[in-house]
Amino acid sequence: MKIQRFIGDYQIEYDVLEIRDFEVIHQIKDILRLHSSEQIMLSDGRGNEATFEIADMKRAAIRCHRIGEVRTIEKPSGVTLYCALLKNENFEWVIQKTIELGVTCIVPIITARTVKLGFRGEHLARIARETAERAGRCIVPEIIEPISFEVALIQTQQNSANVFCNADGKPIADVIASIEMPIGVFIGPEGGWHEDEIRQALENKFSIVSLGHFTLRAETAAAIAVHELVKINNE
């Protein structure tokens, strides 16, 4: 039976700890219907995990005993996705797939051609945590509140490099071979980048990259770009 993983601010180096997060308690007791003596995996959200055994369950807390060594199984990839805010289900798909692929942080941006402006931060944060747990990650990527394209340009100055996905760019494989982390990757809206945004990206010394010969949906482009960039960090 697969051991369920939960990510939170857990002090997993302790021999005994208590889970007091109501949502996690509800999931363990009422959804998964786990019992005392069963095992779970707890991660501290910083890349470390350990196996615990449930000792006893109360209404407001679940006490666990650590039965395995603390292991570091994940380090941040250093890839931050700056993605134009998309329609609800499309942006949720971006969060799920790029987290599965190893993104470190997701920053929704408001561009000149952004149509959808609604943002449900708590809902998306829950999706992020559930996706990270399901994918076997030990880090939950942060979902930042939406910012303007201009503010995003300022934030990216702390990155070692930034790539800007656009159809007329150089093939991404030719550009990223010599790139160092941390890196930012920009994905535009359904209507594409405005010419002023492309000009600003060039002025900020972004690498303009193409993801292939075909026209991609924004969410597809986000997944491909993150995959390519995380891959070079793991090689």
Q: Is the pLDDT reported for residue 3 higher than 80?
A: yes
Contact indicator for 88, 118 with CB cutoff of 8 Å: yes
Q: What would the mean pLDDT of 175-186 be, rounded to a whole number?
A: 86
What is the chain's mean pLDDT, rounded?
A: 92
Residues in the chain: 235
H-run or E-run covering 127: helix 121-135
3-state helix, strand, coil in the chain (%, to 5): 35, 30, 40
CATH assignment, 4-72 = 2.40.240.20
Q: What is the pLDDT of residues 90-143, one digit of tens each?
A: 999 999 999 999 999 999 999 999 987 788 999 999 999 999 999 999 999 999
Number of H helices, E strands in the chain: 7, 13
Q: Are strands 79-84 and 105-110 parallel, antiparallel or unpaired?
A: parallel
Looking at domain 79-234, its CATH class is alpha beta
Q: Is the pLDDT reported for residue 173 higher than 90?
A: no
* Residues forming a β-bridge with 106: 81, 143
Tell me what pLDDT residue 133 has: 93
Query: What's the pTM value of the predicted model, to 2 decimals?
Result: 0.88
Domain residues of the chain, as ranges?
4-72, 79-234
